[in-house]
Chains A and B, each alone.
Chain A
Protein backbone atom coordinates (compact mmCIF):
# COMPACT_ATOMS: atom_id res chain seq x y z
CA UNK A 1 0.00 0.00 0.00
CA UNK A 2 2.81 2.38 1.00
CA UNK A 3 4.76 1.44 -2.16
CA UNK A 4 1.69 2.03 -4.28
CA UNK A 5 1.12 5.46 -2.73
CA UNK A 6 4.81 6.31 -3.12
CA UNK A 7 4.65 5.40 -6.81
CA UNK A 8 1.64 7.68 -7.38
CA UNK A 9 3.38 10.57 -5.62
CA UNK A 10 6.54 9.98 -7.68
CA UNK A 11 4.48 9.89 -10.87
CA UNK A 12 2.71 13.18 -10.03
CA UNK A 13 6.07 14.73 -9.17
CA UNK A 14 7.54 13.52 -12.45
CA UNK A 15 4.61 14.77 -14.51
CA UNK A 16 4.80 18.19 -12.86
CA UNK A 17 8.42 18.67 -13.93
CA UNK A 18 7.85 17.07 -17.32
CA UNK A 19 5.32 19.78 -18.15
CA UNK A 20 7.90 22.39 -17.18
CA UNK A 21 10.31 20.91 -19.74
CA UNK A 22 12.80 19.33 -17.33
CA UNK A 23 12.49 15.69 -18.35
CA UNK A 24 15.13 13.48 -16.78
CA UNK A 25 16.19 11.02 -19.43
CA UNK A 26 18.29 8.13 -18.19
CA UNK A 27 20.59 5.85 -20.16
CA UNK A 28 20.59 2.40 -18.60
CA UNK A 29 21.99 -0.98 -19.56
CA UNK A 30 24.67 -3.55 -18.91
CA UNK A 31 28.36 -2.56 -19.09
CA UNK A 32 29.85 -1.99 -22.57
CA UNK A 33 26.47 -1.70 -24.27
CA UNK A 34 27.35 1.75 -25.59
CA UNK A 35 25.49 4.08 -23.19
CA UNK A 36 28.25 6.69 -23.10
CA UNK A 37 28.83 6.38 -26.85
CA UNK A 38 25.13 7.17 -27.36
CA UNK A 39 25.31 10.01 -24.80
CA UNK A 40 28.30 11.42 -26.70
CA UNK A 41 26.42 11.08 -30.00
CA UNK A 42 23.38 13.00 -28.60
CA UNK A 43 25.61 15.68 -27.04
CA UNK A 44 27.71 16.07 -30.18
CA UNK A 45 24.61 16.31 -32.38
CA UNK A 46 22.87 18.93 -30.24
CA UNK A 47 25.53 20.62 -28.09
CA UNK A 48 28.65 20.15 -30.19
CA UNK A 49 30.61 18.52 -27.37
CA UNK A 50 31.08 15.04 -25.90
CA UNK A 51 29.86 13.90 -22.49
CA UNK A 52 32.25 11.20 -21.25
CA UNK A 53 35.11 8.88 -22.12
CA UNK A 54 34.57 5.44 -23.65
CA UNK A 55 36.69 2.31 -23.44
CA UNK A 56 36.69 -1.34 -24.48
CA UNK A 57 37.31 -2.28 -20.84
CA UNK A 58 34.02 -2.64 -18.96
CA UNK A 59 32.91 -0.15 -16.30
CA UNK A 60 34.56 2.91 -17.85
CA UNK A 61 31.61 4.99 -16.57
CA UNK A 62 31.60 4.56 -12.80
CA UNK A 63 29.79 7.71 -11.77
CA UNK A 64 26.45 9.20 -12.75
CA UNK A 65 27.04 11.88 -15.37
CA UNK A 66 24.49 14.56 -16.15
CA UNK A 67 24.25 16.92 -19.08
CA UNK A 68 21.60 19.53 -18.50
CA UNK A 69 19.34 21.37 -20.91
CA UNK A 70 19.65 19.43 -24.13
CA UNK A 71 17.18 20.65 -26.75
CA UNK A 72 16.56 18.43 -29.74
CA UNK A 73 14.40 19.11 -32.78
CA UNK A 74 12.63 16.75 -35.12
CA UNK A 75 9.81 17.39 -37.63
CA UNK A 76 9.33 20.93 -36.32
CA UNK A 77 8.94 19.79 -32.69
CA UNK A 78 11.32 20.46 -29.83
CA UNK A 79 12.16 18.29 -26.83
CA UNK A 80 14.18 19.46 -23.82
CA UNK A 81 15.75 17.09 -21.31
CA UNK A 82 18.53 16.52 -18.84
CA UNK A 83 20.56 13.52 -19.96
CA UNK A 84 21.70 11.13 -17.23
CA UNK A 85 24.38 8.61 -18.22
CA UNK A 86 24.61 5.81 -15.67
CA UNK A 87 27.24 3.14 -14.90
CA UNK A 88 26.51 -0.28 -16.40
CA UNK A 89 24.42 -2.58 -14.23
CA UNK A 90 26.05 -5.92 -13.43
CA UNK A 91 25.64 -8.73 -10.90
CA UNK A 92 29.37 -9.41 -10.59
CA UNK A 93 32.54 -7.37 -10.68
CA UNK A 94 35.92 -9.08 -10.54
CA UNK A 95 39.06 -6.95 -10.28
CA UNK A 96 40.99 -9.81 -11.92
CA UNK A 97 39.10 -9.17 -15.16
CA UNK A 98 40.63 -5.70 -15.22
CA UNK A 99 44.09 -7.17 -14.55
CA UNK A 100 43.54 -9.55 -17.48
CA UNK A 101 42.67 -6.49 -19.58
CA UNK A 102 46.12 -5.08 -18.81
CA UNK A 103 45.67 -3.04 -15.63
CA UNK A 104 47.91 -3.07 -12.62
CA UNK A 105 46.49 -4.71 -9.48
CA UNK A 106 46.05 -1.53 -7.43
CA UNK A 107 44.33 0.23 -10.30
CA UNK A 108 42.17 -2.82 -11.02
CA UNK A 109 41.02 -3.08 -7.39
CA UNK A 110 40.24 0.64 -7.32
CA UNK A 111 38.25 0.35 -10.55
CA UNK A 112 36.29 -2.64 -9.18
CA UNK A 113 35.44 -0.74 -6.00
CA UNK A 114 34.30 2.31 -7.92
CA UNK A 115 32.32 0.11 -10.32
CA UNK A 116 30.35 -1.55 -7.48
CA UNK A 117 29.47 1.88 -6.11
CA UNK A 118 28.46 2.95 -9.62
CA UNK A 119 25.98 0.07 -9.93
CA UNK A 120 24.45 0.95 -6.55
CA UNK A 121 24.11 4.61 -7.58
CA UNK A 122 22.57 3.67 -10.94
CA UNK A 123 19.91 1.58 -9.16
CA UNK A 124 19.23 4.37 -6.63
CA UNK A 125 18.76 6.85 -9.47
CA UNK A 126 16.02 4.74 -11.07
CA UNK A 127 13.46 6.54 -8.93
CA UNK A 128 14.52 9.90 -10.35
CA UNK A 129 14.00 8.99 -14.00
CA UNK A 130 11.05 10.09 -16.10
CA UNK A 131 12.04 8.37 -19.33
CA UNK A 132 14.66 5.65 -19.78
CA UNK A 133 16.58 4.49 -22.81
CA UNK A 134 17.83 0.95 -22.30
CA UNK A 135 20.96 0.50 -24.38
CA UNK A 136 21.71 -3.11 -25.29
CA UNK A 137 24.56 -4.56 -27.30
CA UNK A 138 22.84 -6.29 -30.23
CA UNK A 139 25.75 -8.73 -30.61
CA UNK A 140 25.11 -10.20 -27.14
CA UNK A 141 22.45 -12.59 -25.82
CA UNK A 142 19.50 -10.35 -24.89
CA UNK A 143 18.08 -12.87 -22.39
CA UNK A 144 20.60 -11.98 -19.70
CA UNK A 145 18.87 -11.64 -16.34
CA UNK A 146 20.22 -8.11 -15.81
CA UNK A 147 18.35 -6.93 -18.93
CA UNK A 148 15.14 -8.66 -17.89
CA UNK A 149 15.32 -7.45 -14.27
CA UNK A 150 16.09 -3.90 -15.33
CA UNK A 151 13.29 -3.66 -17.89
CA UNK A 152 10.83 -5.42 -15.54
CA UNK A 153 11.67 -2.92 -12.85
CA UNK A 154 11.12 0.08 -15.11
CA UNK A 155 7.81 -1.45 -16.14
CA UNK A 156 6.80 -1.87 -12.48
CA UNK A 157 7.64 1.80 -11.86
CA UNK A 158 5.60 2.90 -14.91
CA UNK A 159 8.61 4.61 -16.45
CA UNK A 160 8.39 4.89 -20.27
CA UNK A 161 11.13 2.82 -21.91
CA UNK A 162 12.80 2.88 -25.30
CA UNK A 163 15.00 -0.11 -26.06
CA UNK A 164 17.99 0.57 -28.28
CA UNK A 165 19.75 -2.26 -30.12
CA UNK A 166 23.22 -0.80 -30.42
CA UNK A 167 26.29 -1.85 -32.44
CA UNK A 168 24.37 -2.79 -35.60
CA UNK A 169 27.52 -1.99 -37.54
CA UNK A 170 29.05 -5.23 -36.23
CA UNK A 171 28.66 -8.52 -38.11
CA UNK A 172 27.44 -10.44 -35.06
CA UNK A 173 24.56 -8.00 -34.49
CA UNK A 174 21.21 -9.79 -34.18
CA UNK A 175 18.37 -7.29 -33.81
CA UNK A 176 15.69 -9.94 -34.45
CA UNK A 177 16.75 -11.89 -31.37
CA UNK A 178 16.46 -8.73 -29.33
CA UNK A 179 13.03 -7.99 -30.77
CA UNK A 180 11.93 -11.52 -29.87
CA UNK A 181 13.18 -11.07 -26.30
CA UNK A 182 11.27 -7.83 -25.72
CA UNK A 183 8.24 -7.97 -28.04
CA UNK A 184 6.29 -5.48 -25.94
CA UNK A 185 8.77 -2.67 -26.72
CA UNK A 186 9.68 -0.67 -29.74
CA UNK A 187 13.29 -1.52 -30.59
CA UNK A 188 15.41 1.02 -32.43
CA UNK A 189 18.45 -0.46 -34.12
CA UNK A 190 21.39 1.96 -34.25
CA UNK A 191 25.12 2.31 -34.30
CA UNK A 192 25.83 5.02 -31.74
CA UNK A 193 29.48 4.98 -32.80
CA UNK A 194 28.85 5.73 -36.49
CA UNK A 195 25.43 7.38 -36.19
CA UNK A 196 23.59 4.75 -38.27
CA UNK A 197 19.80 5.17 -38.04
CA UNK A 198 20.18 7.95 -35.48
CA UNK A 199 17.33 10.00 -37.01
CA UNK A 200 15.00 7.06 -36.39
CA UNK A 201 16.21 7.03 -32.79
CA UNK A 202 15.37 10.72 -32.32
CA UNK A 203 11.92 10.18 -33.84
CA UNK A 204 11.24 7.32 -31.39
CA UNK A 205 12.47 9.47 -28.53
CA UNK A 206 9.99 12.17 -29.51
CA UNK A 207 7.19 9.62 -29.63
CA UNK A 208 8.04 8.46 -26.13
CA UNK A 209 8.96 11.67 -24.33
CA UNK A 210 7.69 14.48 -26.50
Chain B
Protein backbone atom coordinates (compact mmCIF):
# COMPACT_ATOMS: atom_id res chain seq x y z
CA UNK B 1 0.00 0.00 0.00
CA UNK B 2 1.30 3.40 -0.99
CA UNK B 3 1.25 6.00 1.80
CA UNK B 4 1.41 9.73 1.19
CA UNK B 5 2.32 11.73 4.25
CA UNK B 6 1.61 15.46 4.12
CA UNK B 7 3.75 17.68 6.34
CA UNK B 8 2.42 21.22 6.75
CA UNK B 9 5.13 23.83 7.03
CA UNK B 10 4.17 24.86 10.57
CA UNK B 11 5.17 21.36 11.72
CA UNK B 12 8.80 22.02 10.85
CA UNK B 13 9.22 25.77 11.11
CA UNK B 14 10.15 25.77 14.78
CA UNK B 15 12.60 22.87 14.36
CA UNK B 16 16.35 23.21 13.91
CA UNK B 17 17.82 22.22 10.52
CA UNK B 18 19.02 18.91 11.90
CA UNK B 19 15.63 18.13 13.45
CA UNK B 20 13.83 18.96 10.19
CA UNK B 21 16.05 16.65 8.18
CA UNK B 22 15.82 13.83 10.70
CA UNK B 23 12.01 14.13 10.81
CA UNK B 24 11.67 13.96 7.01
CA UNK B 25 14.18 11.13 6.68
CA UNK B 26 12.48 9.16 9.41
CA UNK B 27 9.19 9.32 7.46
CA UNK B 28 10.90 8.29 4.21
CA UNK B 29 12.53 5.36 5.99
CA UNK B 30 9.04 4.24 7.04
CA UNK B 31 8.35 3.83 3.30
CA UNK B 32 6.12 6.89 3.14
CA UNK B 33 6.12 9.41 0.33
CA UNK B 34 6.51 12.74 2.07
CA UNK B 35 4.82 15.82 0.66
CA UNK B 36 6.16 18.88 2.44
CA UNK B 37 4.45 22.24 2.18
CA UNK B 38 7.17 24.64 1.09
CA UNK B 39 10.82 23.79 0.86
CA UNK B 40 13.93 23.31 2.91
CA UNK B 41 16.70 25.88 2.86
CA UNK B 42 19.36 25.31 0.19
CA UNK B 43 21.95 24.14 2.72
CA UNK B 44 19.33 21.86 4.31
CA UNK B 45 18.66 20.17 0.96
CA UNK B 46 22.37 19.36 0.69
CA UNK B 47 22.45 18.17 4.28
CA UNK B 48 19.43 15.96 3.54
CA UNK B 49 21.40 14.28 0.73
CA UNK B 50 24.40 13.85 3.04
CA UNK B 51 22.37 12.35 5.88
CA UNK B 52 20.52 10.10 3.41
CA UNK B 53 23.86 8.67 2.33
CA UNK B 54 24.79 8.02 5.96
CA UNK B 55 21.58 6.01 6.42
CA UNK B 56 21.85 3.82 3.31
CA UNK B 57 21.96 0.07 3.88
CA UNK B 58 20.61 -3.02 2.11
CA UNK B 59 17.02 -2.10 3.04
CA UNK B 60 17.06 1.69 2.74
CA UNK B 61 18.47 2.65 -0.64
CA UNK B 62 18.09 6.39 -0.49
CA UNK B 63 15.47 8.85 -1.66
CA UNK B 64 14.04 10.49 -4.71
CA UNK B 65 13.72 14.21 -4.20
CA UNK B 66 11.94 16.99 -6.07
CA UNK B 67 11.10 20.57 -5.27
CA UNK B 68 8.59 22.71 -7.12
CA UNK B 69 9.04 26.36 -6.51
CA UNK B 70 7.19 29.31 -8.02
CA UNK B 71 10.34 30.91 -9.32
CA UNK B 72 10.94 31.34 -12.98
CA UNK B 73 13.23 33.49 -15.01
CA UNK B 74 10.27 34.20 -17.27
CA UNK B 75 8.44 35.80 -14.34
CA UNK B 76 8.18 39.54 -14.61
CA UNK B 77 10.07 41.80 -12.24
CA UNK B 78 6.80 42.58 -10.41
CA UNK B 79 6.01 38.88 -9.93
CA UNK B 80 9.51 38.20 -8.67
CA UNK B 81 9.33 41.15 -6.26
CA UNK B 82 5.94 39.87 -5.06
CA UNK B 83 7.45 36.41 -4.46
CA UNK B 84 10.31 37.97 -2.51
CA UNK B 85 7.83 39.77 -0.22
CA UNK B 86 5.81 36.55 0.29
CA UNK B 87 9.04 34.69 1.09
CA UNK B 88 10.02 37.34 3.59
CA UNK B 89 6.64 37.17 5.31
CA UNK B 90 6.00 33.45 5.16
CA UNK B 91 9.48 31.99 5.18
CA UNK B 92 10.06 29.04 2.88
CA UNK B 93 6.37 28.16 2.77
CA UNK B 94 5.95 28.55 -0.97
CA UNK B 95 6.21 25.58 -3.31
CA UNK B 96 6.24 21.91 -2.46
CA UNK B 97 8.86 19.27 -1.71
CA UNK B 98 8.42 15.58 -2.43
CA UNK B 99 10.65 13.00 -0.79
CA UNK B 100 10.08 9.37 -1.67
CA UNK B 101 11.99 6.29 -0.56
CA UNK B 102 13.95 4.82 -3.49
CA UNK B 103 12.59 1.35 -2.69
CA UNK B 104 9.12 2.59 -3.68
CA UNK B 105 9.68 5.56 -5.95
CA UNK B 106 11.44 4.65 -9.16
CA UNK B 107 11.85 8.15 -10.46
CA UNK B 108 10.54 11.66 -10.03
CA UNK B 109 10.52 13.35 -13.42
CA UNK B 110 10.65 17.06 -13.19
CA UNK B 111 10.07 19.51 -15.95
CA UNK B 112 10.11 23.16 -14.98
CA UNK B 113 6.57 23.37 -13.59
CA UNK B 114 5.37 19.82 -13.12
CA UNK B 115 6.39 16.68 -11.32
CA UNK B 116 5.64 13.11 -12.39
CA UNK B 117 6.25 10.46 -9.77
CA UNK B 118 6.81 6.92 -11.01
CA UNK B 119 6.55 4.10 -8.50
CA UNK B 120 8.25 0.74 -8.76
CA UNK B 121 6.25 -2.29 -9.81
CA UNK B 122 5.63 -4.63 -6.92
CA UNK B 123 7.97 -7.60 -7.17
CA UNK B 124 6.22 -10.90 -7.74
CA UNK B 125 6.66 -13.31 -4.88
CA UNK B 126 8.36 -16.53 -5.85
CA UNK B 127 6.12 -19.53 -5.56
CA UNK B 128 7.32 -22.31 -3.37
CA UNK B 129 7.39 -25.66 -5.10
Q: Are A141 and B110 closer than 8 Å at their CB atoms?
A: yes
Q: Can you list, as one digit per residue, whether each of B50-70 has a CB less than 8 Å from chain A (1) or not (0)? A: 101110101001111111000
Q: Are A91 and B109 closer than 8 Å at their CB atoms?
A: no
Name the residue in B42, B54, B102 with the highest tally of chain A Cβ atoms < 10 Å from its Cβ. B42
Residue B43, interface by CB 8 Å: yes
CB-CB contacts below 8 Å: B72-129 with A? 73, 102, 108-112
**A94 to B65, alpha carbons, bound, how many Å?**
16
**A143 to B42, alpha carbons, bound, how many Å?**
16
Q: Are A91 and B62 closer than 8 Å at their CB atoms?
A: yes
Determine the chain A residues whose CB is within 8 A of the CB of B66 once the complex forms.
145
**A126 to B64, alpha carbons, bound, how many Å?**
22
Determine the chain A residues whose CB is within 8 A of the CB of B58 once the complex forms.
95, 109
Q: Are A91 and B67 closer than 8 Å at their CB atoms?
A: no
| Whole-angstrom distance between the Cβ of B42 and the nearest chain A Cβ | 5
Determine the chain B residues whose CB is within 8 A of the CB of A180 once the complex forms.
112
| Whole-angstrom distance between the Cβ of A132 and the nearest chain B Cβ | 13
**A94 to B61, alpha carbons, bound, how many Å?**
5
In the complex, which of the residues A3, A89, A93, A145 contacts B56, with contact meaning CB atoms closer than 8 Å? A93
| Whole-angstrom distance between the Cβ of A43 and the nearest chain B Cβ | 28
Determine the chain B residues whose CB is within 8 A of the CB of A91 once the complex forms.
49, 52, 62-65, 102
Residue A146, interface by CB 8 Å: yes
Q: Are A94 and B62 closer than 8 Å at their CB atoms?
A: yes
Determine the chain B residues whose CB is within 8 A of the CB of A126 once the complex forms.
46
User: What is the total of A-B residue contacts with beta carbons within 8 Å?
Assistant: 79
Residue of A nearest to B112 (CB): A143
Q: Are A153 and B56 closer than 8 Å at their CB atoms?
A: no
| Whole-angstrom distance between the Cβ of B118 and the nearest chain A Cβ | 13
| Whole-angstrom distance between the Cβ of A101 and the nearest chain B Cβ | 15
Interface size on A (CB < 8 Å)? 33
Q: Are B110 and A184 closer than 8 Å at their CB atoms?
A: no
Residue A32, interface by CB 8 Å: no
| Whole-angstrom distance between the Cβ of A206 and the nearest chain B Cβ | 27
Determine the chain A residues whose CB is within 8 A of the CB of B63 once the complex forms.
91-92
Residue of B nearest to A90 (CB): B62
Name the residue in B43, B53, B66 with the highest tally of chain A Cβ atoms < 10 Å from its Cβ. B53
Determine the chain A residues whose CB is within 8 A of the CB of B49 once the complex forms.
89-91, 119, 123, 146, 149
| Whole-angstrom distance between the Cβ of A112 and the nearest chain B Cβ | 7
In the complex, which of the residues A92, A116, A124, A156 contacts B102, with contact meaning CB atoms closer than 8 Å? A92
| Whole-angstrom distance between the Cβ of A148 and the nearest chain B Cβ | 7
**A144 to B45, alpha carbons, bound, how many Å?**
13
Q: Are B42 and A149 closer than 8 Å at their CB atoms?
A: yes
Q: List 21 A-B contacts (CB under 8 A).
A: A90-B62, A91-B63, A91-B102, A92-B64, A94-B61, A94-B102, A116-B53, A123-B50, A124-B50, A126-B46, A145-B65, A145-B66, A145-B67, A149-B42, A149-B67, A150-B46, A152-B42, A152-B45, A153-B42, A153-B43, A180-B112
Chain B interfacial positions (CB closer than 8 Å to A): 42-43, 45-46, 49-50, 52-54, 56, 58, 61-67, 73, 102, 108-112
